Every structure is written in C-alpha cells, then in structure tokens.
Amino acid sequence: MPFVTRRAVLGAAAATTLAAPAVRAQGAAIRIVVPFAPGGSTDAVARLVAPGLTQRLGAPVVVDNRAGAAGSIGTDAVAKARPDGQTWLLTFDSHATLAALIPQLPFNPDRDLDPVMLIGGAPYVLACKPDKPFRSITDVVNAAKARPDTVSFGSTGNGTIGHLTMVLLQGRTQTRMTHLPYRSGGLAVNDTVAGHVDMMIGSAAVVHPHVRGGTLRTFAQFGPQRLPALADLPTVAEAGIQGLEAEAWWGVFAPHGTPEPAVARMNAALKEALSDPQVRRTMEETQQARLIMSDPAGLGTFLQREVAKWGAVVRENSIRAD
C-alpha cells in the first residue's frame, strides 16, 4: 500500500465534506475534540476516521484541536458540553493521568465523561536521529550513568505516559536524564529530527513515518512483545529491564449523560469506519496500531487499570503538568 501521509488524510476529509452538501442539510455538524495540537497521532487518527463517520452519521464531522494543560483544556470543553450526541472527545493515553497530574482539575474524568470506545494501541518506542550513538536501551543507560543529566529526551509533556515511562526507567537503572516536554508528538519529532534533543519517547504511530523516511531510527520498544511491524526492534524486557511496559492508546468519550442510543450509534459508526480496508491498513501500517474497537464497558474497565497504574507514578514522583 502506498504511504498515507497526514496531508492525504486531511485531503480526504476535506473532499468528503465538500462532496456532501446533502449531508449538511440532514443535521448539525458533529464535533470531535482532540485535546492536542495538530501533528500528533491523536489528531491523525481523528482525521482518518472523520470521513467515514460523516458518511455513517449523516452529518459533517469536524475535528476541533484544543491543546493545552496536558490535554485538560479540550477535555474540559467536552466534559461541559451538552450531552446531545453532537460533541465527542478523541483523546490519548495521558487521559489516564489527568486527575493525578492536575489537582485542581475543573472536571472529574470519571464522573463527567462516559466511555464510548477504546480504538486501539501502539507500543511506545525510543527514537533518535540516525547519527546519534544509541543503538540499544543499554547504550542510553550507559551514557546516562557516565554523564548524569546530560542525555536528553523529549516527550509530549510532563505527566504523559512517555514521560512517566522514562521516569520509571531512570528509577530502575539509577540514572538521571534531562527531560524536554513538548506540546505534541509532532513538535517532539521535529526537534529530534533536527538533533536538538538526543532522543524522544513516543508512540510507534507518531515515529513510524519518520523512521520510514530515514530521518529517525528506533532502538527500543516498550510493548509486552515485539510489534509485528517492528519485528527487528527489541523490547526493553529483552534488554534485561523487566516489567516496564508502556503502550499508547486512543479512546473516545462523550459528555456524561449522552443518551445510550447516541453512544451506541457512535460506537457502531467508529467500528464501521475503522473496519474499512484502507482505514484499517493505515491504522495498522502507518499508525502501527493494534486495533481493539471495544464496546463502552471495555474502555471503562481498561481506563480504571491505566488510572491506577500511572496515577501512582505521578503521585510517587510529585509530577505536575507543564
């Protein structure tokens, strides 16, 4: 399959909207809020499914990027939106850390949002510019031990799962590294490609296009086993660091009280859109995703586990949002 760029995804979304004036007449626009800046994997996933949702829901679907405060600004907008089936949240794994990360959060993630679907996940990976010396996680650990605080890594922000994974790595290996938080995966990639940061931790989804293009090189993955698409990339466990697993995930939520038929309709539309052969290939090959497409209860159960796991890391290390 030819490589599908974000520009192509945007073009498809625009073409769908322009080609469907009749759809507009059938209903008001449906808004999918992405609480991060454009350029990251969450934005790409939202724009990838938007055309299919437009076709299946009978109304134009608009992606609304509302970045800031570790994703809490956009999430708050959805939590306070009318539960009428017109506003939805498509967010990233850092959603699980919001309550622990921001003590004065203006909403309650558990009480004010209803789960809709766990779309899927992708392992976190470490990547660097090809001319950097890191070829394995062992190289990073040895460099950090030899020169404490001089090895730098980028993430998508304080308290994100990538950052917390590196906090755990430093604790397990008794090393100190310098963390550079960015507002999105796209910005972290840009500085890593430019060599302004030694390496970055990000989902395989956001890193893969640049690895394929030769501007980044991956050297470790944090999944429980090797991702089939990254079969030559060792896991951290294979390097001798056990129990340090981290996978990115994307989930969809609705304002609390959204009618169950509306939630069920969105869940079904998402499954159909994601099951389209071209969309599925893009998710699996370009986004490096393992599709799950859960029911609402499945996302709720999964989120409880993530909140318990990563919230503890935030509290134990006194981490706060940017």
Pick the more confident residue, 36 or 50. Answer: 50
Residue 1 counted as domain residue = no
Q: Which of 239, 264, 290 corresponds to the end of one domain?
A: 239
State whether the Cα torsion 158-163-164-166 is positive or negative: negative
Q: What's 44's domain CATH number?
A: 3.40.190.150
Residue 12: CB atoms within 10 A of its CB come to: 18
The pLDDT value recorded for residue 158 is: 87
Q: Is residue 189 located within the same domain as residue 170?
A: yes
Q: DSSP letter for 224, please.
A: S
**Conformational region of residue 110, where left means phi above 0, alpha means psi within -120 to 50, and beta covers everything else:** alpha
Residue 255 counted as domain residue = yes
Give the residue among 91, 46, 73, 53 at the shortest CA–CA distance from 249.
91
The pLDDT value recorded for residue 183 is: 78
Q: Is residue 21 located within the same domain as residue 128?
A: no
Q: Is residue 273 located within the same domain as residue 127?
A: no
How many domains are there within the chain?
2
Asked if residue 7 has pLDDT above 60, the reply is: no
In the chain, % of residues over pLDDT 70: 91
The DSSP string of 294-313 is --HHHHHHHHHHHHHHHHHH
pLDDT in tens, 207-224: 888 998 999 999 999 998
Any idea what the Cα angle at residue 160 is, between residues 306 and 88, rounded to 5°? 70
Distance CA 248, CA 265 (A): 25
Q: Is residue 57 located within the same domain as residue 112?
A: yes
Distance CA 25, CA 169 (A): 53
Q: What's 135's domain CATH number?
A: 3.40.190.10
Q: Is residue 88 located within the same domain as residue 149?
A: no
With both helix axes pointing from N to C terminus, report the angle between 137-146 and 161-173 in degrees, rounded to the nearest 10. 60
pLDDT in tens, 153-189: 999 888 889 999 999 999 999 999 999 998 778 889 9
E strand map for the chain: 30-34, 61-65, 87-92, 113-128, 152-155, 178-181, 199-203, 217-221, 247-255, 290-291
In the chain, % of residues over pLDDT 90: 73
Residue 321 counted as domain residue = no
Q: What confidence tier does 27 reach under pLDDT thresholds 50, 70, 90?
A: low
Pick the more confident residue, 269 or 17. Answer: 269
- In single-letter form, the type of residue at position 210 comes to H
Residue 12 counted as domain residue = yes
Q: What H or E segment, with its residue span, contains residue 314? A: helix 296-316
Average pLDDT for 129-140: 96
The DSSP string of 9-55 is HHHHHHHHHHT-HHHHHHSPPEEEEESS-TTSHHHHHHHHHHHHHHH
Q: Is residue 173 located within the same domain as residue 34?
A: no
The β-bridge partners of 251 are: 91, 118
Residue 146 counted as domain residue = yes
Helices (H) then strands (E): counts for the chain: 13, 10
Residue 14 counted as domain residue = yes
pLDDT in tens, 275-309: 999 999 999 887 788 899 999 999 999 999 999 99
Q: What is the largest CA-CA distance in the chain?
A: 65
Kindly report which listed range (137-141, 150-154, 286-290) carries the lowest average pLDDT score: 286-290
Q: Which of 239, 259, 283 corresponds to the end of one domain?
A: 239
Average pLDDT for 6-16: 40
The pLDDT value recorded for residue 17 is: 36
The DSSP string of 81-106 is S-SSSSEEEEEEGGGGGHHHH-TT-S
Instruction: Write out the residue range of the structural domain in which residue 143 sits.
Output: 123-239
Q: Which of 239, 257, 282 corresponds to the end of one domain?
A: 239
pTM: 0.83
Q: Is residue 280 located within the same domain as residue 210?
A: no
Residue 304 counted as domain residue = yes
pLDDT in tens, 87-129: 999 999 999 999 999 988 999 999 999 999 999 999 999 999 9
Q: Is residue 164 located within the same domain as residue 308?
A: no
Distance CA 62, CA 46 (A): 9
The pLDDT value recorded for residue 10 is: 40
Q: Is residue 28 located within the same domain as residue 174?
A: no
Q: DSSP letter for 235, please.
A: B
Q: Is residue 18 located within the same domain as residue 110?
A: yes
Q: Is residue 145 located within the same domain as residue 234?
A: yes
Distances (CA, A) of 104 to 14, 74, 107, 114, 160: 38, 16, 9, 21, 17
Residue 181 counted as domain residue = yes
User: In whole numbers, what is the pLDDT of the chain averaged over residues?
Assistant: 89
The pLDDT value recorded for residue 9 is: 40
The pLDDT value recorded for residue 142 is: 97
Q: What confidence tier does 4 reach under pLDDT thresholds 50, 70, 90?
A: very low
Q: Is residue 144 located within the same domain as residue 118?
A: no
